[in-house]
Structure 1
Amino acid sequence: MATPVSAVHPHSAGLRERKKQKTRDALVDAAHRLFLQQGYAKTTVDEIAASVEVSQRTFFRYFANKEEVALAVLADAEETFLELLRGRPAAESPLEAMRGAVRQVWHSLDQGRVAERGTVTGALELFELIESTPTLLAAHLRHTLHQEVEVARVLADREGLDPAVDLRPRLLAAVFGTVVRLSHLSYAAAPDQHGHCMDGMLSLIERHFDQLGPALAGSWR
Structure 2
Amino acid sequence: MTGLRERKKQRTRDALIRTAHELFVAQGYERTTVDEIADAVEVSQRTFFRYFANKEEVAFALQRAVEERFFVAVGERPEHEAPLQVLRNALGTAWSGIGEVIEEVVPLELFMRMCRVIETSPTLVAVHLRRSAQQEDRLAVEIARRAGVDPESDPRPRVLAAAFSGVLRLAGRRWAACGETSIESAQRFYENHLDRLGPALAEDWHAAPESDGPLPERRG
Question: Which category of TM-score, normalised to the shorter sequence, fits these structures?
Answer: 0.7 to 0.9
Counterpart-to-counterpart distance in 2, 1:66 and 1:94: 35
Which residue of structure 2 aligns with residue 3 of structure 1?
Answer: none
Which residue of structure 1 aligns with residue 131 of structure 2?
Answer: 143
Counterpart-to-counterpart distance in 2, 1:113 and 1:96: 26
Counterpart-to-counterpart distance in 2, 1:142 and 1:157: 23
Which residue of structure 2 aligns with residue 110 of structure 1?
Answer: 99
Which residue of structure 2 aligns with residue 95 of structure 1?
Answer: 84
Which residue of structure 2 aligns with residue 205 of structure 1?
Answer: 190
User: Is residue 73–residue 118 contact of structure 1 (8 Å, CA) maintained in 2?
Assistant: no
Match of 2:41 among 52, 72, 93: 52
1:79 aligned to 2:68?
yes
5 Å-filtered alignment, 1:185-200, equals: 185-191=173-179, 197-200=182-185
Counterpart-to-counterpart distance in 1, 2:162 and 2:204: 22
Deviation, 1:211, is 1.3
Identify which range, 28-37 or 92-101, moves more after superposition.
92-101
Counterpart-to-counterpart distance in 2, 1:182 and 1:118: 25
Counterpart-to-counterpart distance in 2, 1:54 and 1:103: 38
- Which digits, 9 at most, give the CA deviation of each residue in 1:151-193, with x for residues without a partner? 111111111111111111111111111112222222222255x
Identify which range, 163-172 or 123-132, moves more after superposition.
123-132
Which residue of structure 1 aligns with residue 152 of structure 2?
Answer: 164
Q: Which amino acid aligns with 2:142?
A: V
User: Is residue 30–residue 123 contact of structure 2 (8 Å, CA) maintained in 1?
Assistant: no
Which residue of structure 1 aligns with residue 213 of structure 2?
Answer: none
Counterpart-to-counterpart distance in 2, 1:197 and 1:219: 34
User: Is residue 34–residue 43 contact of structure 1 (8 Å, CA) maintained in 2?
Assistant: yes
5 Å-filtered alignment, 1:32-71, equals: 32-71=21-60
Matched residues, percent identical? 48
Unmatched tracts of structure 1, length 5 or more: 1-11
User: Is residue 120–residue 176 contact of structure 2 (8 Å, CA) maintained in 1?
Assistant: no
Structure 1 residues 85, 16: closer, same or farther in 2, change over 3 A? farther
1:16 aligned to 2:5?
yes
Q: Which amino acid aligns with 1:215?
A: A
Deviation, 1:115, is 5.7
SS in 2 for 1:42: coil
Counterpart-to-counterpart distance in 1, 2:68 and 2:119: 21
Counterpart-to-counterpart distance in 1, 2:74 and 2:161: 12
Counterpart-to-counterpart distance in 2, 1:165 and 1:108: 38
- Which digits, 9 at most, give the CA deviation of each residue in 1:54-88, with x for residues without a partner? 21111101111111111111122112211221122
TM-score (norm 2): 0.84
Identify which range, 59-68 or 19-28, moves more after superposition.
19-28
1:175 aligned to 2:160?
no
TM-score (norm 1): 0.84
Counterpart-to-counterpart distance in 1, 2:123 and 2:104: 23
Structure 1 residues 123, 217: closer, same or farther in 2, change over 3 A? farther
Identify which range, 75-84 or 99-108, moves more after superposition.
99-108
Q: Which amino acid aligns with 1:177?
A: S
Which residue of structure 2 aligns with residue 215 of structure 1?
Answer: 200
